[in-house]
Structure formats: structure tokens, C-alpha cells
Amino acid sequence: MSGTPAILAKGIAKTYGTGDAAVQALRGVDLQASFGEMVALVGPSGCGKTTLISILAGLLSRDGGKLQLAGTDPDALGNEARTLWRRQHVGFIFQQFNLVPQISVLENVAIPLLLRGERRGESLDRAAQLLERVGLKGREGSAPGKLSGGQQQRVAIARSLVHGPSILVCDEPTSALDGATGQRVMELVREQGCRPDRLVVLVTHDERIFHFADRIVHMDDGRVTREVDAKAEVAALRAAQGMERSS
């Protein structure tokens, strides 16, 4: 896959609804990303972040623009081929964690492997390893509903990583976590998600995790407004915080 851009998006447009009820969620988004990278999307509520990453994950069809994800346009695939492509290549952490309530935490984490037809025993072993990495050893047999919000979010993170996806999209992955836990799981996301043949696109309001990203892409009103190097953004934030403290 090296040599092929991981994400090549040009003029992505998306409108929900029709007529008076139409909402233009994306108004021509351009975005490029390479394997090995973590790109953070930031911007005000309603600016189109979830819509954009849903399109990048092949979960939602766009209305306009061009898109290549590791050389594949998910909208050019039929429904069945798109589902198979997604199972093979994509991981997601949803804003609402979307765990399956009727099955155990361990089985939830193993879902991406089981859907790909991998052996149950091996899938559950791999799921248990990921659960340990997110600090949930001992909770494998619990029902998701018996866990706290932060624990459920960590189950969702383990599930998103279990099959080694080439494209991982995360919607506010640390929203329910305390600072220290957020740092620990982001280390795991970075380690597992940003390999030479993988990348992560992350939506976040959490400035404490900006330093995990390589690039910060700012959005407003359905468009990308600017892109900055994450190190420069973090340095600027720290300087601004220092000035606040000394004033």
C-alpha cells in the first residue's frame, strides 16, 4: 500500500434531507492523509466532523466530490462489496459507543474478527489482550450495560483496534475518560493505529490529546478552514495557557 495516499478527498459534499429541511453538512471538503499519520479534526459542534469521518469510514455515501481510500472509492463498490471492504480495512469508535448490549464485553471486542470469519477461540484471545491493554482485565464477562461510560468507551476502543484496521476513525475517543486514562488509551491508539500501512483520523475537542496527532485540521460550517502541524498547535496552546497563568 505504500506509495498510495491513504486518503485523497476532493470537494466532498453531503446534504441531509431535501427542500426546506435540507442541511448542507459538507460544502466541499479537501483532505489528504498518508499512512502512518494521525490527523485530528477539530471544529464547532455541527460543523460536519462526524459526517466527514462517516464518509471516510465508508458508512455514509457522499453527494459530491472524489474520494480514494488506499486507492478504493467505497461508493463505487456495491453494498455487499462495501461491507466486506469495511470489515477488512476500517475500524471506528463512534461518539455513542454502539456496543451490543446482549453479549459480553469480550464478545463485543471480538466482533470485527468474528465478522471476518476468524476462529472464535483465537478471536476471543486477541480480544482479551486488547481489553487488558485498555485496563479492563477482569471485566471480560460483564454485560456492557454494567460498565461505566469510560469503561464502555474503552471497550469500544479495544473493538476498533482488534482487527488491525488500515483506516481507524475515532469520534471523540476520550470524551468519557479522565486525563490519565485518556493518555494511556491514546498511546495504544497511536501504537496500533499509526503503523506504516495504517492511519488514524480522530475527531476531538480534547486539547490534552492534540500532541498524539501529526496534523490538526480545523473545520467550520462544512469546510476545512486551515491545517496546522500538531506540534505548532500544541506549542501555541501551551504559550497561551502560560500567558493566562502569568496575567
Residue 62 binds which of ligand ATP, Mg ion, none (CB < 5-8 A, kind-dependent): none
Rounded to whole angstroms, the Cα distance separating 172 from 94 reads: 8
Does position 18 interact with ligand ATP (CB under 6 A)? The reply is no
Nearer residue to ligand ATP within complex by CB, 12 or 90: 12
Closest distance of CB 95 from ligand ATP, Å: 6
Q: Which x/- pattern, by CB under 6 A, does the window 21-60 give for ligand ATP?
A: --x-x-------------------xxxxxxx---------
Residue 46 binds which of Mg ion, ligand ATP, none (CB < 5-8 A, kind-dependent): ligand ATP
- Which grid cell sits at 66? 472524489
- Give yes or no for a contact between 49 and 171, defined as CB atoms under 8 angstroms apart: yes
Rounded to whole angstroms, the Cα distance separating 14 from 207 reads: 28
Rounded to whole angstroms, the Cα distance separating 7 from 1 reads: 12
Nearer residue to ligand ATP within complex by CB, 65 or 164: 65
In DSSP notation, 159-171 reads HHHTT--SEEEEE
Dump strand ranges (E) for the chain: 7-16, 23-33, 38-42, 64-69, 90-93, 167-171, 199-203, 215-220, 223-229
Closest distance of CB 208 from ligand ATP, Å: 17
132 φ/ψ angles, rounded to the nearest 5 degrees: -65, -40
- Which grid cell sits at 118? 476468524
Residue 64 binds which of Mg ion, ligand ATP, none (CB < 5-8 A, kind-dependent): none
Closest distance of CB 37 from Mg ion, Å: 21
Q: Which x/- pattern, by CB under 6 A, does the window 86-125 give for ligand ATP?
A: ---------x------------------------------
Sign of CA dihedral 17, 19, 22, 26: positive
Does position 204 interact with ligand ATP (CB under 6 A)? The reply is no
- Among residues 4, 16, 137, 238, which is the contact residue for ligand ATP, using CB under 6 A? 16
Does position 196 interact with ligand ATP (CB under 6 A)? The reply is no
Does position 144 interact with ligand ATP (CB under 6 A)? The reply is no
In terms of Cα–Cα distance, which of 37, 49, 44 is closest to 12?
A: 49
Q: For strands 64-69 and 7-16, give the pairing.
A: antiparallel
Q: Which x/- pattern, by CB under 5 A, does the window 18-57 give for Mg ion?
A: --------------------------------x-------
Nearer residue to ligand ATP within complex by CB, 60 or 77: 60
Element (H, E) at 113: helix 105-115
Does position 204 interact with Mg ion (CB under 5 A)? The reply is no
Which residues of this protein are in contact with Mg ion, per CB under 5 A? Answer: 50
Footprint of ligand ATP on this chain (CB under 6 A)?
A: 16-17, 23, 25, 45-51, 95
